[in-house]
A and B are shown apart, each in its own frame.
Chain A
Amino acid sequence: MTLPARRRTPRADRIFVALMLAPSLLILAAFYLYPILSNVWFSLTDLSLLKLRRGGSYIGLANYAEALGGADFWRVVWNTAFWLTAVSVVVRLLLGMALALLLHSQALLRLRLRTLMRLALLVPWATPPIVAVAVWRWLLNPQAGGVNRALLWLGVIDQPVAFLASTATVWPAIVLILLWNTLPVVTLTLLAALQSVPQELGEAAALDGAGGVRIFRHVTLPHIMPTIAILSMLMVFWTFNNFAYVWLATGAGPGRYTDVLATEVYLRGFVDFNLGSSAAIGVIMAITMGTFGLIYVRVLGRRVTS
C-alpha cells in the first residue's frame, strides 16, 4: 500500500523555493549587490582616500558631469574600446582560430608534434601577466632588448626602436603582450569546439565535392559559432576591464597616450586620491559593459532562435 502524496499549495511551494534560494541570494547580496550599491553611492560623493574615516559628502552627479565633460574622457574611451578591446579581441580570434585549426590538423599528428605543440601553447597561458609584461618590457627594450637586436641583425631597422615610448608602436606593443599571454585560452577553447564537430559531416561534404575552405565555411564554422560568440563576449568583458597589461607596460603613458578606463580609475582613486570620481568611472564602465552584454545576448538569442 502506498501513501497518497501530500499536495502542497502553490503558496507553500513559493515559500519552500524562497527558503531554498535564500542562502544563495544572501551571498549574492552580500558579495555582489552591496559592493555595487556602495560603489554607486561613492560615485555620488566627494570621498577622498585621505578622508576614508570621515566618509564623503553627497555631491549629486558632479563626478559624472566632470568625467563625461572632460576633454580627455572620450579619447580614453576610444583607447579602451578600439585599441585595447576591439583590436586585441579580433586579432586573438583570428590567430586563435588559425592556431586551433593547425593543432586540429592531421599534419601535426603525422609529424607527431600535436602533443608537443599543445603543451608549448600552455606556457604563455601559465605565465602570470606581471611576469609576461616584465619579460616583454625587457625584450622590447631599445638598448638590450632581444626584439631590437633581432630586427637590427635582420636589417629590418637601422636604429633601435623604443617600442613602448613611440606613438606609432606603443599600442601594437601592448596588443602583442596581451596576445602572447592570452592567445592560448582562445586557441584551446576553439580547439575544443573544433573537436566536437562530427567528423562524418566533413567527410560527407568532401564526398559531395566541397573543398577545405567550403567545408570550413559551411560545415565547421556554423557548428562552432555558438562557442565563438560566447568566447567573444567573454573576451570583450575581460579585456575592456583589464588594468594590468596597460599599467604594467606603460603606466598609461607616454603622456596619456595609452590611458584606458581601468587605468583612469586607478589614477583618480589612488594617485589623485579622489575615490568618488574613480567610482564614477567604474560605474560608467559597468553600465557600458552591462549594456553591451544585454544587446549582445539579445542579438545572439534572436540569431540562435532564427
Chain B
Amino acid sequence: MHLVRALRATLVALALACGITAHATELTFRFNDPDVTQIRAALDVFEQQNPGIHVKLEQMGWGDAMSQFLREAAVGTGPDVLHVAFVWPKDMGAAGALLPLDKYMAASGGSGDYIAMDLATGRDGHVYAVPWTVDCWTMVYRTDLLQQAGITTFPKTWEELRAASLKIHQVTGKTGFGFPAGSAASNGIWFLVNYYWWNHGKPLVVNKPGGGFSAGLDQTDIAGAIRYFDDYFKQGDTPRSMLSVSNWGDPAIIEAMASGQQAIGIMPPANFKQIAAAWRARNPNGGDPPLTTAEVPTELATSVVNVGGRSLAINANTKDPDAAWKLVQFLESKPIFTDYYTSQLPARKSVLSTLKFPPGMQGYAQQLATARSWGPYADGPIPINTMWNATGRAFGSAFIGELSVDQASEQLLSVITKGLQ
C-alpha cells in the first residue's frame, strides 16, 4: 500500500516537474563588453520580474563575435539575443541570421526614439536590430601637460594638433598625441584616418549621384593621411611602440594617459572613464583628474566623427521570439544605464536626454551632436570589415617601410575601387 502511495506521489511530482520545465523559457544572451558582472545583476532583476524566463549570459570578445554568430546561425543555433556593433545588422540581416523586428517595433511605439536607426535597418527595409548604446570618439587630453607646454587652447585643426603634439614632446619629454597605429584586423587607426578624411571633406566611400557607390577621395588624399600620421613617429612625439597597439582601450594608452606619460589621445567615453578611474585610484585625495575632452580637429565648419554604438538583435533561430523581445525591451530601459551598465550611454534619445554628462566629458556631448552615420560605408557592397582591415594594413605597411607611401595608398585605393565596382 505504502509502495503504491509512494509511486503515485513520485508520478505526481514528475508530472509537475515536467509541466514546470515545459513552461520555463531558457534564453541565452551573448554580451561582448567587459561589464559582465553588472549585466548579470541586471538579468537577475529581469528573471525576478519574469519568473518563467531564465537567462543564460554568455561573453564573447568583439573580434570574433560576428563571424562566430554567422556560422552558428547558418546551422540553426546561436544565442537568442545578441550584442552587435552598429554596422553589423545590414550584413547579418541579409545573411538571414537575424529576426525581423518590424512588428515588435511597431507595437512598442516605432523607431523614432532611437539614434542611428538607419544602421539597424536592413537593405530590404526590415528592422533587424534595436540600437542599444551610443558613443563617439573625441579628443581626450591631460590639462596639466598642455599647461606645462604652454598650450592654452586645444588645437582646432589637424596641423595645429600636429604642432601641439610636437611641442608637448619637446617641452615635457612626454608623448604628445598617442594613437593606436597597429594593423590588426579590428584596428583603431581606421577610425582616426576616417575622421581625418571626413574633416577634410573627403570620405572614403560616397554615394554616386546616379546611384551606386564610389571612392570619395583619390590616391593623393590617402597618401596625405599616411604622411600626416607617419610624421608623428618620424618626429618621435608618438612612440613607435604604438605600431603594435591596435585597440583604442589598450593598457598602453590607458596607463600612459592615467600616469601622465601621454598628453593627448582619442577614444570613446568608456575609455575616458577608465582613465579617470585609474587616475582616481592613484590619487584618492586628488579631486577631479586633470583630464578633459575636446572636439576632433577639423578643416570644416563642424567637426565630424561617426556615431558609434551597439545594438541588440534577436537570432532568427530563436524558439521564443516574444520572450527574447521582452529581454531586449528590459535591457534598453533607463535603469540599466543608471544602475548597471553605467559605462555606456543609451541610444534612446528620450533616455539619453535625461542623463547628465560628468565633468570633463562635455566634448562627447558636443561631438555627438554633429556625429554622422557610416552611411554609404555600411550600405555599399564591401563589408566594412574588409575596408577596416585593408586600411590598417596599408597604413601599417607604410609606417614600417614595408611599402612606400605611394604603394600603400595605391593598394588601399585599389581594394576600395575594385570592391565598389
Question: When A52-B95, A53-B96 are in contact, do A254 and B389 touch as well, CB less than 8 Å?
Answer: no
Contact of B244 among A53, A144, A250, A272 (CB under 8 A): A250
A249-293: which residues lie under 8 A (CB-CB) from chain B? Answer: 250-257, 267, 269-273
Which residues of chain B come closer than 8 Å to A162, judged between CB atoms? 239-241, 243-244
Chain B nearest CB from A242 CB (Å) reads 18
Q: Which residue of B lies closest to A273 (CB)?
A: B383
* B70 touching A255, Cβ below 8 Å: no
C-alpha gap A109/B392 in the complex (Å): 54
Chain A nearest CB from B281 CB (Å) reads 17
A224-241: which residues lie under 8 A (CB-CB) from chain B? Answer: none
Does B255 make an interface contact (CB < 8 A)?
yes
Contact with A along B353-377 (1 / 0, CB 8 A): 0000000000000000000000000
Contact with A along B123-158 (1 / 0, CB 8 A): 000000000000000000000000000000000000
Which residues of chain B come closer than 8 Å to A256, judged between CB atoms? 183, 393, 396-397, 402
Which residues of chain A come closer than 8 Å to B64, judged between CB atoms? 270
Question: When A164-B244, A267-B185, A271-B385 are in contact, do A141 and B252 touch as well, CB less than 8 Å?
Answer: yes
Secondary structure dominating the interface of A:
loop
Q: Which residue of B lies closest to A163 (CB)?
A: B244
Does A40 make an interface contact (CB < 8 A)?
no
Which residues of chain B come closer than 8 Å to A144, judged between CB atoms? 255
Which residues of chain B come closer than 8 Å to A164, judged between CB atoms? 244
* B71 touching A52, Cβ below 8 Å: yes
Which residues of chain B come closer than 8 Å to A251, judged between CB atoms? 182-185, 246
C-alpha gap A52/B67 in the complex (Å): 11
Of the candidates A160, A165, A166, the one having the most CB atoms from chain B within 10 angstroms of its own CB is A165
Which residues of chain B come closer than 8 Å to A298, judged between CB atoms? none
Chain A nearest CB from B96 CB (Å) reads 5
Q: Which residue of A lies closest to B397 (CB)?
A: A255
* A272 touching B397, Cβ below 8 Å: no
* A49 touching B67, Cβ below 8 Å: yes
* A254 touching B396, Cβ below 8 Å: yes
Contact of A255 among B91, B255, B396 (CB under 8 A): B396
Does A143 make an interface contact (CB < 8 A)?
yes
C-alpha gap A160/B74 in the complex (Å): 47
Does A172 make an interface contact (CB < 8 A)?
no
* A160 touching B241, Cβ below 8 Å: yes
C-alpha gap A142/B255 in the complex (Å): 13
B402-421: which residues lie under 8 A (CB-CB) from chain A? Answer: 402-403, 408
Does A217 make an interface contact (CB < 8 A)?
no
Does B38 make an interface contact (CB < 8 A)?
no
C-alpha gap A295/B394 in the complex (Å): 38
Contact of B252 among A51, A53, A143 (CB under 8 A): A143
Of the candidates B182, B183, B385, B392, the one having the most CB atoms from chain A within 10 angstroms of its own CB is B183
* B74 touching A255, Cβ below 8 Å: no
Does B114 make an interface contact (CB < 8 A)?
no
Secondary structure dominating the interface of B:
helix
Does A213 make an interface contact (CB < 8 A)?
no
Does A196 make an interface contact (CB < 8 A)?
no
Question: When A142-B241, A252-B183 are in contact, do A166 and B400 touch as well, CB less than 8 Å?
Answer: yes
Does B352 make an interface contact (CB < 8 A)?
no
Does A50 make an interface contact (CB < 8 A)?
yes
Does B20 make an interface contact (CB < 8 A)?
no
Of the candidates B64, B241, B389, the one having the most CB atoms from chain A within 10 angstroms of its own CB is B241
Question: When A253-B393, A255-B393 are in contact, do A167 and B243 touch as well, CB less than 8 Å?
Answer: no
C-alpha gap A144/B255 in the complex (Å): 10
* A255 touching B244, Cβ below 8 Å: no
Contact with B along A41-83 (1 / 0, CB 8 A): 0000000011111000000000000000000000000000000
* B241 touching A143, Cβ below 8 Å: yes
Chain A nearest CB from B197 CB (Å) reads 20
Does B256 make an interface contact (CB < 8 A)?
yes
Chain B nearest CB from A46 CB (Å) reads 13
B57-82: which residues lie under 8 A (CB-CB) from chain A? Answer: 64, 67, 70-71, 74
Which residues of chain A come closer than 8 Å to B184, judged between CB atoms? 251-253
Chain B nearest CB from A186 CB (Å) reads 28
* A254 touching B74, Cβ below 8 Å: no
C-alpha gap A272/B398 in the complex (Å): 21
* B243 touching A165, Cβ below 8 Å: yes
A142-168: which residues lie under 8 A (CB-CB) from chain B? Answer: 142-144, 160, 162, 164-167
Contact with B along A113-143 (1 / 0, CB 8 A): 0000000000000000000000000000111
C-alpha gap A256/B389 in the complex (Å): 10
Does B248 make an interface contact (CB < 8 A)?
no
C-alpha gap A269/B389 in the complex (Å): 13
Q: Which residue of B lies closest to A137 (CB)?
A: B244
Q: Which residue of B lies closest to A160 (CB)?
A: B241
Given contacts A143-B252, A251-B183, 4 further A-B contacts (CB under 8 A): A143-B255, A254-B400, A255-B408, A269-B67
Give 15 A-B contacts (CB < 8 Å), ordered by A residue.
Answer: A50-B95, A52-B95, A143-B241, A160-B239, A162-B243, A165-B240, A165-B242, A253-B246, A254-B183, A255-B393, A255-B395, A255-B396, A255-B400, A256-B396, A256-B402
Question: What residues of chain B have their CB less than 8 Å away from a CB belonging to chain A?
Answer: 64, 67, 70-71, 74, 91, 94-96, 182-185, 239-244, 246, 252, 255-256, 261, 383, 385-386, 389, 392-403, 408
Query: Ordered nearest first, which 5 A-B pairs have the shortest CB separation?
Result: A255-B397, A253-B183, A251-B184, A52-B74, A165-B243
